[in-house]
Structure 1
């Protein structure tokens, strides 16, 4: 069984899934196995649930009469199928990576482009070596373009994902202190994320450039084609403004206010608006798309709870995103409590970076500082510190938070959002 032979069956399918619990009629189930479980044992069950075909690695469960096929590697076959499918697609694909803001930018771009086109885009955070091929395979004949998010925590990963997604346009949101352990420091982050540039330049594709980011400018110097924003001489110029803690942008005489907090989201808005304008979308429709977009993914999300304003940013955290979140939050009027969780995957820089953030928070002068996670607890001698969110919940049940404004910011693994019901 090779990908070209299997492709005709794929075209008859509803979707590709790796979750046996979500199989629907005519789906293709890729049976990924872990250390303690062989998903191939679910092959017959998947067919009985309506699956059109199953791909697995264990030959004992192969039954070609039932469209249960054994391959050397389910992962490699998934990726090869995605590459083959991508080669058949005649639509523009926008690739997106960066240290911070990838998912928010992806959703904004999708919202804007959807004003005119049928756009497929990465669901949730399916942005890795499994998620990217799944996203590519979710692009079907009715779609007119796609936005594919690519995440990475080590070098050569973006390079590999580009060979699968084969983007025609690309944008790197920024270069920050994220996944330092895997990348080997900030320079490693820049090199790893810039693999998107390497692909785009090598294949003469279009790069979206924030000309206020000197790294983006340096990495794309002298290259064409580009789409630019950020400077008076850029293709598109936007002005920043804010309203009731929400960030907005102005293009010519049109003011657009989002439902996102933090000036750090301004460039995310600019990227989406620039692509919209490039693809011929009227600024009034861009305004409608951005103003209707409501973040619900625990990223720069404002939640009103009684007399309190909560800022939810609990999906990801690194020193770069933590610093700008704190700088934004101190501008809120009234008393302020910050609940900050550990920043993960920092390697040998972890202790220093957690101490730097704690020092910065103290300098800003928040009403109350609470930390959650072992890394913060090791360096925190000035405020309440808890090893996990369960301990935090016990504390706030006995010690009500009085502040009018509460920021929750931490890595996904800390799960600070579990404490919301108790604030």
Structure 2
């Protein structure tokens, strides 16, 4: 559910939406207070947007939304005509108004697009990239919140459904709005960037996340650079100075700059504090930055560059860097008898390498244990990318490495083939979660450091209870 702090007249809300017809009670709802795509969240004043999905069609939950209090619903044209008699019943029973549209998802996106167009004084920042975009968004969000009223799309509401929902939540009082844009198919960026039209933007990097649907890293770069399409003349787009596609991305147009250790203004280096984060030296200040890993320092440099671009004060930048905290499953350090780095919200080979490299950099008295889950959406590169991870794990300073999931068999085989280093970790391959849970429980002990890293669908956070009980 997206709450709208100022209830909006229906006519204003729908001004950018293409309607086939209005069916039912025209006075059912005069003002909208929230927009829902889940009928369970509906209440009086809700506009319900039913969306067809892979496992369920939201249209079959329209009556549930009406029972919860919603009196206004979008309906796909095809669905309405197929079930017209049912909607006549709903009209009489609930005195509801149904807005028949060619496509309910497009209608949701049109709602958000029109909402953003009406906010003439809002400065919009867009962030995309294969890795680090969510964390960079959170760092910049922390900085801007220290400066002025700022909207940030929650979590990773960055898709063709999540982004419009986040845009609808922006308030008239906000001066800044930061949006993360995620893609997993060709032409999706066209839709997303047209909804928010960012004045300033950044691409954190071009990696192999979602390479399956897009086909190649160059295709990913071509899609992601569309984020620069609507840059304001007075602002710039940013790309990482050492990205493999930096020259190609700069071809997107004028006003594309780089960020990084060599190009972010007045950056003076950093000191790695391990599990405590880093000290970032900038403009004569030693800033205590709590996010772990040198890769997050790079994300911070992106946020600093964007903040300077839109005129944020030094004090707000320093304050925001100090206050930022990791989101769930993104480099969270959970200390106790067993220290856990919970970095299992998502994974591809680039982020796997970064996580393993960070663990390698730590000087510890206890054992280092890597629990590496399968990486999804790699398409034809699935086998080779898992092998790369296996080779890297074999070279790590870990004592034990658990590979989990069918795709991870390739990583396990590669690790076994690469045996012979100074550390020579123990390797295990497990395909069943219950078996993984038992073996981990039997293996870990007080003083261990455990890295959980895998794709979202693997849900390695399910091991947390086991790890807590194993102390």
TM-score computed with the length of structure 1 as normaliser: 0.90
The 3 A distance-change label for structure 1 pair 11 and 190 is farther
Partners of 2:402 and 2:248 lie apart in 1 by: 39
Partners of 1:10 and 1:254 lie apart in 2 by: 55
Partner deviation per Cα, 1:261-297 (whole Å, 9 max, x = no partner): 1111112111222233334433333222222222131
Partner deviation per Cα, 1:157-176 (whole Å, 9 max, x = no partner): 11221112211111001111
Greater displacement, 290-299 / 413-422: 290-299
Matching of residues 48-67 of structure 1 within 5 Å: 48-51=67-70, 53-57=72-76, 58-59=79-80, 60=84, 61=87, 63=91, 65-67=95-97
Matching residue of 2:458 = 414
2:14 is the counterpart of 1:3: yes
> Structure 1 residue 54: deviation in Å?
1.8
Residue aligned with 2:73, SS: strand
Matching residue of 2:381 = 349
Residue aligned with 1:69, SS: strand
Matching residue of 1:314 = 344
Partner deviation per Cα, 1:210-248 (whole Å, 9 max, x = no partner): 334353355226954356533556545352222243134
Matching of residues 166-181 of structure 1 within 5 Å: 166-181=197-212
Matching residue of 2:396 = 364
Contact 1:25 1:50 in 2 (8 A): yes
Partner deviation per Cα, 1:354-378 (whole Å, 9 max, x = no partner): 1111111111231111111111124
Partners of 2:119 and 2:340 lie apart in 1 by: 43
Partner deviation per Cα, 1:365-412 (whole Å, 9 max, x = no partner): 311111111111245244111114332112123333466211111100
CA RMSD, 1 decimal: 2.8
> Structure 1 residue 53: deviation in Å?
2.2
Matching residue of 1:377 = 409
Matching residue of 1:243 = 273
Q: 2:112 aligns with which of 50, 60, 82?
A: 82
Partners of 1:133 and 1:379 lie apart in 2 by: 38
Matching residue of 1:277 = 308
Partners of 1:223 and 1:156 lie apart in 2 by: 19
Partners of 2:217 and 2:29 lie apart in 1 by: 41
> Structure 1 residue 186: deviation in Å?
2.0
2:225 is the counterpart of 1:230: no
Counting matched residue pairs gives: 421
Matching residue of 1:94 = 125
Matching of residues 6-405 of structure 1 within 5 Å: 12-34=31-53, 37-51=56-70, 53-57=72-76, 58-59=79-80, 60=84, 61=87, 63=91, 65-90=95-120, 91-197=122-228, 199-200=229-230, 206-213=236-243, 215-216=245-246, 218-220=248-250, 224-226=254-256, 228-230=258-260, 234-245=264-275, 246-306=277-337, 308-334=338-364, 335-381=367-413, 382=416, 383-401=427-445, 404-405=448-449
TM-score computed with the length of structure 2 as normaliser: 0.82
Of structures 1 and 2, the larger Rg is shown by 2
Q: Which runs of 5+ in 1 are unaligned?
A: none
Q: Which runs of 5+ in 2 are unaligned?
A: 1-10, 19-27, 417-426
The 3 A distance-change label for structure 1 pair 284 and 327 is same
Contact 2:341 2:452 in 1 (8 A): yes
Greater displacement, 339-348 / 54-63: 54-63
Contact 1:310 1:406 in 2 (8 A): yes
> Structure 1 residue 36: deviation in Å?
6.0
The 3 A distance-change label for structure 1 pair 403 and 338 is farther
Partners of 1:35 and 1:176 lie apart in 2 by: 27
Residue aligned with 2:33, SS: coil
